[in-house]
Amino acid sequence: MLWVPIIGNVIAWLIGKLPRRAPPAEPATFDAARAFTPHFLAELTLRPPALPSHDVPLAPGEYRCALVVDNEGFSARWFVPQGEMLARGKPHALDIELLSPETAAARFPAGAVFRVLVGDSFIADGRVLESHAPHI
């Protein structure tokens, strides 16, 4: 009976020697050093939050999200300019940059409607006002 723990240790040692899978590649993201290059102008209308205590305007800064058209999502970012705040429920015209404009170009012509997904919640509804053609 003394050989049972030894066999267990040998099996554990052999399992430790098996090659492991490489970690998954990091998803593509916006380069912080890269300048903001808008691909289209959109009208965003922020939805009311689930909790009344979260019903505050969006402060100035960068916001990253997924723009959802039908069942497809495209990574994007947009900025609230310094000195401005975006009130909920009112339409706001904002420039939006796509992470992969070559992939998303066909889905965002002028007039296209989309939803803005942050985390697991849709926070806004949008509509493309005009495309900045040289970038898409």
Q: What confidence tens digit (pLDDT) does each residue in 22-31 have? A: 777 666 777 7
Residue ranges per domain, the chain?
A: 25-135
Mean pLDDT on 75-80: 92
What is the overall mean pLDDT for the chain? 86
DSSP character string of 67-85? EEETTEEEEEEEEEPTT--
**Bridge partners of residue 66, in order along the sequence:** 75, 117
Mean pLDDT on 83-87: 90
User: CA dist 84 to 4, 16, 19, 32, 44, Å?
Assistant: 71, 56, 54, 22, 15
Predicted local distance difference test score (pLDDT) of residue 5: 76
Residue at 50: amino acid letter: A
Predicted local distance difference test score (pLDDT) of residue 135: 46
Q: Is the dihedral of CA 76, 82, 87, 90 positive or negative?
A: negative
Name which of 81, 64, 73 is nearest 30 in CA terms. Answer: 64
**CATH number of the domain at 25-135, please?**
2.40.30.10
Predicted local distance difference test score (pLDDT) of residue 129: 95
Predicted local distance difference test score (pLDDT) of residue 14: 82
Structure tokens at 125: 């509804």
Residue 3 — pLDDT band, cuts 50, 70, 90? low
